[in-house]
Structure 1
Amino acid sequence: MALLPLNAGRNTLVDIARTFGPDGKPLAVAELLNQSNQLLDYMPWKMGNLPTGHKASVRTGLPTVTLRSFYRGVKVGKSGRNTIEDVCGMAEARNEIDVDLAKLNGSVNAFRQSEAAAYIEAMNQTMAQQLIYGDTSVNPDGILGLTPRYNAIASGGPSAANIIDAGGTGVNNTSIWLVVLGENTACGIFPKDSEAGLQQKDLGEIDAFDENGDRFRALAEMWTWKFGLHVADWRYVVRIANINTTDLNTQAGTQAITAATWINKLMIRALARIPSMGMGTPVFLCNRTVKEMLSIGALDKSQNALSFTAALNQFGDVGAGSVAGSGTGIRGGTVLFQGVPVITIDKLLSTEARVV
């Protein structure tokens, strides 16, 4: 299967950042974001049409088409549509570093940069958690993520057709998501007339306060990220739910390689649910446990392959001394399933309740 281009026709955060100021700061921050959040390499972003997010009309049904005979009329039809409004959340963090502590390092800038890396990682984790589990009915300050949109099989409306049950019945379940990323399928959004991605503002040297209210001089920074999720067409997201992690780790029960609910088989079923892969860039999202067992299960299933390399390379190009870098396959830092990137999202839980 042909490998998928990374940035064909899409505006990732790095692409958007290149349009900002000549100092390169927004671009540098965007590149750091991508290093700690692989999803941002693939996820397109667009400016919403509202100061709070994005309002759009989404298609819920197709018009009726008539096969007409001579002298027979045709009834007027129309497509089903529904208006949705996706809101953006505002993540913000501040840090205050004691001036004298920063100077102890010998390089104030180097010390502040090391601190910045932690804040970038924290912002990434917040975005990832909201992307998967954000629920505005629980936390109105957050966003509406994927899970609330695909969380009921029996009474979930049209999107229930894109929830695949992996057979887990307890509260030790996880999910795999197949998302076709594109402006007309599913994409990130940021508020109208605002900037995309994580924004850093140097507040300079200020008077900070300790727990007793006493002052000390500190170097201050503020980090903000306004983001949301817009799903324009529910058919381009598939959730494989109820993956029992105990069965997965032991390759038994619902996750035995001979079981109909083995995740490798269900991922193929998920791919078949997508109407057209050409509508965007498909990616699988899973946690580290799933990603680990995917490859282990593939090797066990392919033990009679012509060679060990042939069995392993079904998930990408694996070579001696492989390291993450540019390109495809594990050598390039990307694992593939049927040509689709498999991306690690650490915020995907292994303690999900059963979806029914």
Structure 2
Amino acid sequence: MATIGNSFPQLIDMHKGSTEGSVVELLSQQNPILDDAIATECNMGASHRHMIRTGLPSVAWGRLYQGVPQSKATMQQVDDTTGFVEAMSGVDVRLLKLAPDPAKERLTSAAPFMEAMNQEVATGIFYHNTETTPEKFKGLSARYSSYSDTRGTIANQVVNGGGTGSDNTSIWFVTWGDHASSLIYPKGTKAGVSHEDKGEQRVLDESGQPYFRKEDYWCWHVGMFVKDWRYNARVANIDVSNMLAGSVDLWALMRKAYYRLQSRRRDGVASRIAIYMNRDVLEILDVQSSDRSLLAANPNYTGLTHMTVEGKEVRAYRGIPIRETDAILNTEAAVPVAP
């Protein structure tokens, strides 16, 4: 099962050799999603239009001297939009004159702004919703927002963990690829964080007194599409309190999600698949993986394994790398059953 690297142009790859390269590398250390996500240029300015097949054509058994019934697949047009998160950092020019490396000083000053941007985009991938915040982009939770046992529906890609309150969390199986999920960026621009040196600016301090500083403008114009919802799966409604108490079988829930994932079928389409969860879930998963009593009671138990991907040792489940990200909250509201 393909995971990382291969022939996909990663967000980091697209910036190597550019002035933004060091910036994206820095963000990669803080956001593991960037290790997997690919970026696709929009085909309509700041939005991306694609067609989703919603139904197959009908076929019929033929008979001699009879015609072939006409039929066609049904398609739905979907437009995914982008938004931009931005920040302005600055350093007093007097400090820069004293610094042995002014450029490094400016980058150090910008680091917390970039980390904040990174966390915002990571949160957006899982939680942003254009219906409530149209200036942002549509994330995964807004698409996988209900659960159902009815096959052939997007709600069937959501496994119900049983939680009913507001202290729930999720585990995500995400397939990155042109045919599945991808980040997007406006046509004619660069993927990732862009930077503009605004030079020396006259500004006012808190008392209204003027001074000069060198300013840097940072902007990340980003969105997301899910072209085929069958390639992703969500384990929702994991009650955090019950999980920490040891009464939630995370492996059973992950197994259900795995078997609803189109990517596992190795259908010949290149894919990069990853599993995302926060550190609390990963810790309990590790506990359940090393519990001798559980292993004895479940001889076919599939626990955590380790694999090396591009020189990095990562935890894995059924050959799929597991990524730890605190962008996934422990305070999710319960996902309802599909109407």
Q: Normalized against structure 2, the TM-score is what? A: 0.89
Residue in structure 2 matched with residue 80 of structure 1 by the alignment: 74
**Larger fraction in helix:** 1
Task: Give me the whole-angstrom Cα distance separating, in 1, the residues matched to 2:202 and 2:250.
Answer: 55
1:106 to partner: Cα distance: 4.1
SS in 1 for 2:61: coil
CA deviations on 1:10-35 (whole Å, 9 max, x unpaired) are: 111122224xxx6x422222222222
| Contact residue 175 and residue 263 of structure 2 kept, 8 A | no
Paired residue secondary structure (1:25): coil
Q: In structure 1, which of residues 278, 283, 296 is the aligned counterpart of residue 287 of structure 2?
A: 296
1:351/1:301 CA distance change after superposition, 3 Å: farther
Structure 2 residue 316 is the aligned partner of structure 1 residue 342: no
1:144 and 2:138 aligned: yes
Aligned residue in 2 for 1:204: 199
2:179 pairs with 1:184? yes
Residue 164 (1) aligns with residue 159 (2): yes
1:151-199 superposed Cα distances (whole Å, 9 cap, x missing partner): 1236999211111001111111001111111011111110111111011
Identify which of 305, 309, 330 aligns with 1:315: 305
Amino acid of the structure 2 residue aligned with 1:52: A
Give 1:266 shift.
Answer: 1.5
Corresponding residue for 1:328? Answer: 309
Matched-pair identity in %: 32
Aligned residue runs from structure 1 range 35-114, under 5 A? 35-114=29-108
Match of 2:25 in 1: 31
Q: 2:116 aligns to what?
A: 122
8 Å CA contact 2:3, 2:320 repeated in 1: no
User: Per-residue CA shift, 1:209-250, capped at 9, x if unaligned?
Assistant: 223432111111110000101110111111110001111111
Pair 74,168 (structure 1): closer, same or farther in 2 beyond 3 Å? same
Q: Which runs of 5+ in 1 are unaligned?
A: 256-261, 306-310, 318-326
Q: What is the rounded CA distance, in whole Å, between the counterparts of 2:212 and 2:262 in structure 1?
A: 58
The question of 1:287 aligning with 2:278 is answered yes
Query: How far apart, CA to CA, are the structure 2 residues paired with 1:213 and 1:151?
Result: 48
User: Aligned AA for 1:191?
Assistant: P
Letter paired with 2:202: D
Aligned partners of 1:72 and 1:58: how far apart in 2?
A: 33
CA distance in 2, matches of 1:193, 1:218: 31
- Provide Cα deviations, 1:273-324, integer angstroms capped at 9, x if missing partner: 122344311111111111111111111157657xxxxx9984215xxxxxxx
Q: How far has the Cα of 1:205 moved from its partner?
A: 2.0
Which secondary structure state, in structure 2, belongs to the residue aligned with residue 294 of structure 1? helix
Matched, 1:11 2:24: no
- Assess if the C-alpha contact under 8 Å between 1:316 and 1:328 holds in 2: no
* 2:210 counterpart of 1:215: yes
The size of the alignment, in residue pairs, is 327
Query: Tell me, what secondary structure is at the counterpart of 2:291?
Result: helix
RMSD: 2.5
Say whether the 8 Å CA contact 1:56–1:85 is kept in structure 2.
yes
For 1:183 and 1:45, the matched residues in 2 are separated by 9
Unaligned runs of 5+ in 2: none
Deviations 1:72-94 (A, max 9, x none): 43322211211111000111000
Native 8 Å contact 1:165 1:240 kept in 2:
yes
Q: With the length of structure 1 as denominator, give the TM-score of the two structures.
A: 0.85
Secondary structure at the residue paired with 2:20? helix
